[in-house]
Amino acid sequence: MWVPVLLKSLNESDLYSMGLQIPVEAIYDENHASIKDAIVLFGGGCTAEIISSQGLLLTNHHCGYSQIQSHSSLTRDYLKDGFWAMNRGEELSNPGLTATFIVRMEDVTDRIEAEIATRGMAAYNAITTSIINEELDGSKVDEAVIKPFNYGNNYFLIVSRTYRDVRLVGAPPSAIGKFGGDTDNWVWPRHTGDFSLFRIYAGPDNMPADYHADNQPLVPSYHLPVSMKGVEEGDFCMVYGFPGRTEQYLTSNAVEFVMKELNPFRIGMRDASLEIINAAMLSSDLLRIKYASKQSDIANAWKKWIGQNQGLQETGALHSKYELEKEFRMRAKKVAKEGYVAALDSAIALNEKLEPYYQARGAYIELMFYGPELLSLAAEFDNLIDDFDKLTEEQRFTQAEALIRVARAFYKDYDLQVDKQLAMAMFPLYSRAVQDELESPLMLRYASGSPENSIGSIYTASVFADSTRLIPLLLKLGKKQISKLKQDAVFQLAGSINDSYANRVKDRYAAINGKIDSFMKIYVKALQELFPERVLGFDANSTLRLTYGKVEGSAPWDGMEYVWYTTAKGILQKYKPGNPDFDLPDKMITLLKERKYGPYAHGDGELRICFTGSNHTTGGNSGSPALNAKGELIGLNFDRSWESTMSDILFDPGRCRNIMVDIRYVLWVIDIYAGAGHLIKEMTLSRKQTEGPEMGMISAPG
Strands 196-202 and 165-171 turn out to be: antiparallel
C-alpha to C-alpha distance for 57 and 192, rounded to whole angstroms: 19
Whole-angstrom distance, CA of residue 551 vs CA of residue 563: 11
- The predicted pLDDT at position 489 comes to 93
End-to-end Cα, the chain, rounded Å = 27
Does position 555 have pLDDT exceeding 50, yes or no? yes
- Residue 279 pLDDT: 97
Instruction: Enter the DSSP assignment of 565.
Output: E
CA dist 396 and 411 (Å) reads 22
Asked if 62 is an active-site residue, the reply is yes
pLDDT value for 247? 96
458: confidence class by pLDDT, cuts 50, 70, 90 = confident
622 is catalytic: yes
- How far is residue 657's CA from residue 641's CA, in Å, rounded to a whole number? 6
d(CA 312, CA 90): 47
* Residues contacting 398, CB < 8 A, separation 6+: none
For domain 4-98+164-246+538-686, the question of CATH label 3.40.50.2300 is answered with no
The helix-helix angle for 507-530 and 317-334 (nearest 10°) equals 60
pLDDT tens figures, 614-673:
999 999 999 999 999 999 999 999 999 999 999 999 999 889 999 999 999 999 999 999
- Annotation says 389 is catalytic: no
> Considering only 47-61, 109-123, 469-483, 678-692, which range has the smallest mean pLDDT?
678-692
- pLDDT, position 697: 34
CA distance 232 to 599: 18
440 near 379, Cβ under 8 Å? Answer: no
CB atoms within 10 A of CB 121: 10
Determine the pLDDT at residue 211.
97
| pLDDT score at 460 | 81
Q: What string of H, E and C letters represents the secondary structure of 85-117?
A: CCCHHHCEECCCCCEEEEEEEEECHHHHHHHHH
Lowest mean pLDDT among 142-146, 512-516, 693-697: 693-697
Q: How many residues are given for the chain?
A: 702
Task: Say if residue 696's pLDDT is above 50.
Answer: no
Q: Which of 33, 159, 5 has the alpha carbon at shortest distance from 631? A: 33
Task: Report whether 689 contacts 229 (CB < 8 A).
Answer: yes
The dihedral built from the CA positions of residue 176, 178, 184 and 187, taken in this order, carries a sign that is positive
What CA–CA distance (Å, rounded) separates 76 from 407? 22
pLDDT at 682 > cutoff 80: yes
Residues 319-348 have pLDDT tens digits of 999 999 999 999 999 999 999 999 999 999
CA dihedral of 685, 688, 692, 693, whole degrees rounded to 10:
0
Give the closest residue to 638 by CA, choosing from 654, 655, 656, 662.
662
Look at residues 287, 341, 234 and name the one whose alpha carbon lies nearest to residue 77.
Answer: 287
Confidence of residue 451 (pLDDT cuts 50, 70, 90): low
pLDDT on residue 701? 35
Specify burial of residue 140 (Cβ count, 10 A radius: 0-12, 13-18, 19+): exposed
Which has more pLDDT, 537 or 518? 518
Q: Which of 37, 194, 648, 652 is catalytic?
A: 194
Q: Is the pLDDT of residue 483 over 60?
A: yes
pLDDT at 51: 98
**What is the pLDDT, as a whole number, of residue 12?**
96
Q: Look at residue 534 in the predicted model and tell me its pLDDT.
A: 87
Query: Distance between CA 632 and CA 57 in Å, rounded?
Result: 15
Q: How confident is the model at residue 447 (pLDDT cuts 50, 70, 90)?
A: confident
pLDDT band, residue 455 (cuts 50/70/90)? confident
Catalytic choice (62, 191, 223, 602): 62
Alpha helix segments (H runs only) across 337-392: 338-370, 373-379, 382-387
- Report the pLDDT value the prediction gives residue 450, as an integer from 0 to 100: 62
pLDDT at 700 over 50: no
> What residue spans in the chain does CATH classification 2.40.10.120 cover?
4-98+164-246+538-686
Q: Which positions ≥6 away from 112 have C-beta within 8 Å? A: 124, 127, 128, 131, 146, 155
Cα distances from 101 to residues 35, 36, 608, in angstroms, run 11, 8, 31
Average pLDDT, the chain: 94
| pLDDT at residue 449 tops 90 | no
Residues 6+ apart with CB under 8 A from 190: 180, 184, 566, 609, 610, 639, 659
Q: In this structure, are strands 216-217 and 196-202 parallel, antiparallel, or unpaired?
A: antiparallel
Is a pLDDT exceeding 60 seen at residue 438?
Answer: yes
Count of CA atoms in the C-beta half-sphere (13 A) of 394: 0
- What is the per-residue pLDDT across 568-590, written as a single tens digit (0 to 9) for each? 999 999 999 999 999 999 999 99
* Alpha-carbon distances of 154 from 1, 28, 127, 530, rounded to whole Å: 15, 19, 15, 18
Given 174, 227, 273, 622, the catalytic residue: 622
Written as one string, the DSSP assignment of 10-47 is: HTHHHHHHHT--S-GGGT--SSS--GGGGEEEETTTEE
* The pLDDT value given to residue 693: 39
Q: Are 438 and 356 in contact (CB under 8 A)?
A: yes
CA distances from 625 to 219, 221, 223, 238, 563 (A): 19, 17, 12, 8, 21
Question: For 287-307, what is each residue's pLDDT tens digit?
Answer: 999 999 899 899 999 999 999
What is the DSSP pairing of strand 226-227 with strand 685-686?
Answer: parallel
